[in-house]
Amino acid sequence: MAEEAILGFLQTHEEVADSGEFAAAHGLDHSEVVNVIKSLHGFRYIDAQDIKRETWVLTEEGKKYADVGSPEVQLFLAVPPEGISREELQKRLDPSVFKIGSAQAGKNKWVEMGKHISRKVQHVDDKVKDMLTRIKDGQGIDADSIKALKARKLITPQTWKGYSVKRGPNYAPKRKKAATDLTRENLQRGDWRDLEFKEYNFSAKGPPSEGGHVHPLLKVRQQLKNIFLYMGFEEMPTNNYVESSFWNFDALFQPQQHPARDSHDTFFLKAPSTTRELPEDYLERVKRVHELGGYQSRGYGYEWKRDEANKNLLRTHTTAVSTRMLYLLAQKKPFEPKKYFSIDRVFRNEAVDRTHLAEFHQIEGLVCDRGLTLGDLIGVLHDFFSRIGMSKLRFKPAYNPYTEPSMEIFSYHEGLGKWVEIGNSGMFRPEMLLPMGLPEDVRVIAWGLSLERPTMILYGIDNIRDLFGHKVDLGLIKKNPICRLGNN
Ligand code: PHE
């Protein structure tokens, strides 16, 4: 509406001299006219010049009188031709109308004020109301009236802002909609020739990116990776969730009837249910050590089954990866000492509760060198755990099929004021290392812990389902703070 009116007007007129008057003359809202002027000016359809005017607007009191009449006229009309007692008149009028009205009407000599109030004239005009109405309608009034109304605080000054408008360099009687895309249809119809294209705005900001937030587990994982790297450890390739029973259990000297190898504890794969290949000569040595022993071991003395070793599963620990890596290392001659680590997912067929899921991340470190002792293991554990802020450690003898001795690791939790179990460790058994072909004096010290537990402690999360899985609040992932561990 306003746009058509302005562009149309400029077709036959040199200028719109005053947007306020223009709006009033065309029955348009001035603020709408201003918006259209700004937009047309932006596209250079028109040139606009600011105009400022000091004007007067009605105060709240002024607005009231413009509506219902000035108090002096209200008072005058309440006085009957025969006069009225002051008390009676006061009853008929609002207190402020009586107060202001009697002062003004007295000053105007309209009434005789006293105990008895009577008219001095028969007719009055409401000049105040008329003036206020003129101001409300944007019409001018004389300077004396302004002064009087201002003194009575019925009007206040206001700067009025508007525009004068002329045709601009891109003037057209109707705005052309700028095309934003060149379409196949434009090309087919050939109308691209006449289209005006919207200019690219290279400084426009794109919508904020919603993706790319790092999960707390990954933040803590990165910190732990840094710690391992500072300590000179190399990362092992853990990119296979599916593992064979051979690498997950047999190669670790875990007997085939061990309860962990039950489907109640381990997820076995239906398809493909078995592995395609295993290193046959090594497998023979593993079979022998399980059945008959060797390397000063008596073995388990049972009939080892190939079918059992072939079964595919979701790895239950990253020690399966460590085992593969140690086997590869054993094939390298001459022997080279190594420090390895990994942090990745493992799976266990467990009942889910506040602190357990059927999958979690395991952190694992190992050192492989000649002549290592339990003292070395304890030393490395102190070094590693103090870097993640746990410097008070205790160890408890434990059992793992693949380590001897084995130790559970406890750390003193300052917040909880007690010792909490934080991991498991040990020295890999000769029954595991010697069939691989490692030299006899090579020892491997190793430890493992979950990534979830330190993450939950660091981020103050007490239910693992709030950290991992489909019930996690995405807000947590978007808002959680960075992680800094220890003093690496
Ligand atoms: N694999 C062990 C576990 O699952 C952790 C561990 C790693 C223990 C290395 C000893 C040595 O808990």
Q: Kindly state if the Cβ of 448 falls inside 6 Å of ligand 1.
A: yes
Nearest atom, ligand 1, residue 425 CA: 10
Please, what are the averages of pLDDT over each run of 10 residues along the chain (488 residues)? 92 93 92 94 93 89 94 94 91 93 92 90 93 87 91 91 94 86 94 88 84 90 95 97 98 95 93 96 98 96 97 97 98 97 96 90 98 97 92 95 97 85 96 98 97 88 90 88 72
Instruction: Tell me how many degrees the CA angle 26-27-31 measures, rounded to the nearest 5.
Output: 100
The confidence score (pLDDT) of residue 114 equals 87
Taking the CB of residue 473, how many other CB atoms lie within 10 A of it? 9
Instruction: Tell me how many degrees the CA angle 315-423-264 measures, rounded to the nearest 5.
Output: 40
Q: Most distant CA pair in the chain: distance in Å?
A: 136
Cα–Cα distance between 389 and 412 in angstroms, integer? 11
Nearest atom, ligand 1, residue 319 CA: 1
The confidence score (pLDDT) of residue 254 equals 97
The confidence score (pLDDT) of residue 376 equals 98
DSSP state, residue 80: -
Contact indicator for 440, 371 with CB cutoff of 8 Å: no
Report residue 399 as tokens.
Answer: 């059992």
Q: Kindly state if the Cβ of 248 falls inside 6 Å of ligand 1.
A: no
Q: Kindly state if the Cβ of 317 falls inside 6 Å of ligand 1.
A: yes
Nearest atom, ligand 1, residue 317 CA: 4
List the one residue out of 211, 161, 123, 208 whose CA is nearest residue 37: 161
Q: Kindly state if the Cβ of 244 falls inside 6 Å of ligand 1.
A: no
Q: Kindly state if the Cβ of 254 falls inside 6 Å of ligand 1.
A: no
The confidence score (pLDDT) of residue 488 equals 40
The confidence score (pLDDT) of residue 417 equals 86
Q: Which of 265, 356, 395, 424 to mutate to test the pocket of ligand 1 (most atoms within 8 A of CB)?
A: 424
Q: Kindly state if the Cβ of 424 falls inside 6 Å of ligand 1.
A: yes
Q: Kindly state if the Cβ of 387 falls inside 6 Å of ligand 1.
A: no
Residue nearest to atom 9 of ligand 1 (CA): 447
- In the reported structure, the alpha carbon of residue 279 is separated from the centroid of ligand 1 by a whole-number distance in angstroms of 24
Cα 117 vs. chain centroid, distance in angstroms?
75
Burial class (CB in 10 A: 0-12, 13-18, 19+), 324: middle
Q: Which amino acid is at 397?
A: P
Cα–Cα distance between 253 and 152 in angstroms, integer? 103
